[in-house]
Amino acid sequence: MATANEKLINSAKQLAAQTAVRDHYPKSPPNYIGVGSGSTIVHVVDSIAKLDSSLTATTKFIPTGFQSKQLLLSHNLQILDIDLLPAGESISVAFDGADEVDSQLNCIKGGGACLFQEKIVAVQAQKFVVVADFRKVSTTLCTPTTWPSGIPVEVVPSSYPYVTAKLTKLGATNVVLRPGGKAKAGPCVTDNGNFLLDAVFPTLLEGEDIVQDLAAAIKGIVGVVEHGLFYGGSKGWQGRPEIAYFGMEDGSVNMLGKEGWVALSKA
């Protein structure tokens, strides 16, 4: 049975999801909508499925992994794999969860091991909206009390010892090959057949270049397919959301946009 705290977190996720879908799902039928992974996205898909069918019946929903594909199918929503998005077309809005969001809207993602597909969908969306609960709010990324697991890094399996050493050289204080869990002996294998390293770095101090520079350095290691830093700034944009919705402990929803925080009233 869910504890009171688990119930609080779940209703925060649900409220944030409902509000984000209400505010950002297009008011005329979109061609393509991106759907991320994780537990919060379940509420996003529930909210989308409750919209008038005229807004969803012709839409192709692009999942970011096995979990979101099954979720969409269970709601009888049409799916399209990201590689079938026609050239020149873009996704109207992509919704996704996050593990940690800083005050500049940079995120750590990949707690559910779907970061590569999440990023390839986010960067092809006209608007990327993050939906999360109050535990994900941070001032700077890699804050141990917010997200102690570090930055997920997806690697080609044969490269993991080499990438581990390189991440340590870059300043990681701990690098763990993510285990498969109770039902899988050996490492976690991503939807792309790769391994995941969780690299704990000291808290990334505030400053426009810090996240971008670390992201570029990690991506530069041979064997790295993608990492879970979704960022933007003067050196380029790689999936930083336009806006993030957080369900709060008191039953309200707070919204972090480019202009800062906005508190929405309680439901």
Site string for ligand 5RP, 105-124 (x = CB under 6 A): ----xxxxxxx--x------
Q: What span, in angstroms and rounded, lies between the C-alpha atoms of 15 and 19?
A: 6
CB of 239 to ligand 5RP, least distance (A): 11
Give the sheet arrangement for strand 91-96, strand by strand: 60-63, 32-35, 91-96, 125-133, 243-247, 253-257, 260-264
What is the footprint of ligand 5RP within residues 179-238 (CB under 6 A)? none
CB of 39 to ligand 5RP, least distance (A): 3
Q: In this complex, which beta carbon is closest to ligand 5RP, that of residue 40 or of residue 159?
A: 40
Catalytic residue among 100, 118, 154, 226: 118
Q: In this complex, which beta carbon is closest to ligand 5RP, that of residue 55 or of residue 120?
A: 120
Q: In this complex, which beta carbon is closest to ligand 5RP, that of residue 62 or of residue 114?
A: 114
Q: Can you tell me which of 17, 48, 93, 99 binds ligand 5RP, judged by CB under 6 A?
A: 99
Q: Can you tell me which of 96, 154, 198, 226 binds ligand 5RP, judged by CB under 6 A?
A: 96
97 is an interface residue for ligand 5RP by CB under 6 A: yes
First to last CA, the chain: 25
Q: What span, in angstroms and rounded, lies between the C-alpha atoms of 15 and 133?
A: 9
Listed in sequence order, the residues at least 6 apart from 152 whose beta carbon sits closer than 8 Å to its beta carbon are: 108, 109, 110, 111, 113, 115, 178, 196, 197, 198, 199, 227, 228
CB of 58 to ligand 5RP, least distance (A): 27
CB of 107 to ligand 5RP, least distance (A): 8
Neighbour-count burial of 143, counting CB atoms closer than 10 A to its CB (0-12 exposed, 13-18 middle, 19+ buried): middle
Q: In this complex, which beta carbon is closest to ligand 5RP, that of residue 191 or of residue 213?
A: 191
What single DSSP character describes residue 59? P
Burial 160-176 (b: 16+ CB within 10 A, else e): beebbebbeeeebeebe
Half-sphere exposure in the Cβ direction for 154 (13 Å, CA)? 22
- How many helices and strands (H and E) does the chain possess? 6, 15
Q: In this complex, which beta carbon is closest to ligand 5RP, that of residue 12 or of residue 77?
A: 12
Asked if 118 is an active-site residue, the reply is yes
CB of 87 to ligand 5RP, least distance (A): 27
Site string for ligand 5RP, 22-41 (x = CB under 6 A): --------------xxxxx-
Judged by the rule CB under 6 A, the positions of this chain that interact with ligand 5RP are: 36-40, 96-99, 109-115, 118
Catalytic residue positions, numbered: 118
